[in-house]
Structure 1
């Protein structure tokens, strides 16, 4: 293990609010995590943070309260490329959960196929600078060439400025791209900022998707996160057929007030007042990308 300090994360809110409005059938949480139990699924030695145990049973309880029937479990950096906890949760979900893995450069075609058979449909590249990482698009391209034949997509967790700095590389990826958390856009700089406008240009391309998640991380004003609404509305207007939404439960590395996931669901009505648009975001879009039928 390195000698750097490993941060501990606060737990999610236990008393989840029931949303104001019932969600449509087959609504999907397209970005959530499972952590632990650490005694069964230990965290990576060189992680930068230790999350609270948030196992599959708690995730299912959350989804039951919120009215979410499907979910995409996204691998987090605290596990690196050990996808065991995610695969276990998918295996116990009766087809309702899919996954996005983290994979190593040396992964074999057989190992990729095993992940695919386990419900994985994408690979995540976490380049969040606040977690001490910087983009490595040569790695993204190399691995995308390996998994593209399976129909997978690349999920990129990066910041808006990284899009400005890597326009050419982003445009040359051999697989569809999903951008996490609206690229952590700097809300205080407004929707006209160069990096956000470039992000909008990308998502107008049919190979680019974006998640309108993590208002609690992006907001400057705090709950109820109204300052994030214009950004979400802008990306929805740019590409309503390629928008995903997720809770980001259990919200690792949140500093300050932990959001209630019921409030995050309610925020969707501000993002997309039109019911048909909300159904696209919650049902149709994730079903198309992740291969659910019906």
Structure 2
């Protein structure tokens, strides 16, 4: 089966650079995806976009080039709750990948055990309205209750302006919560401003909440150096990620977000994204926590 790709879709970088920054042994890309291939793993009929194919083989090849040893593959909304492409990637990873799936409330205990055996360790709840239809919070709460005995966690994706409305739901979940992309702050505002301050307060007051300091290419207004001549790419997003890493060093994760779905203006060079890491985690200790210790504790313990 083939699908018509969404008009204007940007394919992932065909030849990413070799990073200057050498990742430490055991480094984890804690946020990446696989799409299809659609001929083997069709996209969900209810999807809001149709991406290019981005196979497990291409993902694993990228990781070898970047120096990534392990990965966490996150279910993309284009596949809905059909996790077969993700599970297939896990089963072919040689134990070097874990997964975060999307579930419906009618999932059986047997299916949960099969997912766990394959390497799944979390469920993603998406609150970005342009990407998914609304799922009742009661259903999400029921799913959280079902997965808690397995030692899984919940990954949440939302945008900064929606945090006040979602706060009570997040803090009421009975298991660890991982926030995608720092809750998508507006990096045009001050890092010490009230909006990002609310997100920092969420992590300060609730020690079970983690975050990924990923996707400067989504958050930045200044863009990559290749587009605007700046000496440092995505410079306006750096202070936000660095603030989180230095304030919560034991509850941060990093990921590429490959193959970077739904970007509109440019497709990032994944090697360049790796070279951003020493600017947000400026010591070897912080880098090891971000890239090795924290994801190992959450996904391989």
Q: Cα gap change, 1:120/1:8 in structure 2, threshold over 3 Å: closer, same or farther? A: farther
Match of 1:239 in 2: 248
Provide Cα deviations, 1:236-293, integer angstroms capped at 9, x if missing partner. Answer: 122100100000000010101100000000001110111110111000000000025x
Q: Does 1:272 align with 2:281?
A: yes
Q: Cα gap change, 1:134/1:181 in structure 2, threshold over 3 Å: closer, same or farther? A: farther
Report deviation, 1:6.
5.3
> How do 1:1-294 and structure 2 match up within 5 A?
9-131=9-131, 133-134=133-134, 136-204=136-204, 205-223=206-224, 224-291=233-300
Q: Cα gap change, 1:19/1:53 in structure 2, threshold over 3 Å: closer, same or farther? A: same
For the Cα contact (< 8 Å) 1:126–1:158, is it kept in 2? yes
Unmatched runs of 5 consecutive residues or more in structure 1: none
Looking at structure 2, the residues matched to 279 and 291 of structure 1 have their Cα atoms a distance apart, in angstroms, of: 16
Provide Cα deviations, 1:121-145, integer angstroms capped at 9, x if missing partner. Answer: 0000111133254574333321110
Q: Cα gap change, 1:265/1:220 in structure 2, threshold over 3 Å: closer, same or farther? A: same
Looking at structure 1, the residues matched to 151 and 80 of structure 2 have their Cα atoms a distance apart, in angstroms, of: 22
- Aligned-residue Cα RMSD (Å) equals 1.5
Report deviation, 1:22.
1.4
Looking at structure 1, the residues matched to 42 and 195 of structure 2 have their Cα atoms a distance apart, in angstroms, of: 37
Looking at structure 1, the residues matched to 212 and 89 of structure 2 have their Cα atoms a distance apart, in angstroms, of: 22
Provide Cα deviations, 1:165-187, integer angstroms capped at 9, x if missing partner. Answer: 22222211111100001111111
Unmatched runs of 5 consecutive residues or more in structure 2: 225-232
Provide Cα deviations, 1:79-120, integer angstroms capped at 9, x if missing partner. Answer: 001000010011011100000000001112221111111100
Report deviation, 1:7.
5.1
For the Cα contact (< 8 Å) 2:155–2:177, is it kept in 1? yes
Looking at structure 1, the residues matched to 252 and 274 of structure 2 have their Cα atoms a distance apart, in angstroms, of: 15
For the Cα contact (< 8 Å) 2:250–2:289, is it kept in 1? yes
Name the TM-score, length of structure 2 as normaliser.
Answer: 0.92
Looking at structure 1, the residues matched to 248 and 151 of structure 2 have their Cα atoms a distance apart, in angstroms, of: 21
4+ aligned runs moved over 4 Å, structure 1: 5-8, 132-136
Looking at structure 2, the residues matched to 192 and 262 of structure 1 have their Cα atoms a distance apart, in angstroms, of: 29
Looking at structure 2, the residues matched to 220 and 250 of structure 1 have their Cα atoms a distance apart, in angstroms, of: 20
For the Cα contact (< 8 Å) 1:34–1:54, is it kept in 2? yes
For the Cα contact (< 8 Å) 2:126–2:132, is it kept in 1? no
SS at match of 2:71: strand
**Paired residue total:** 288
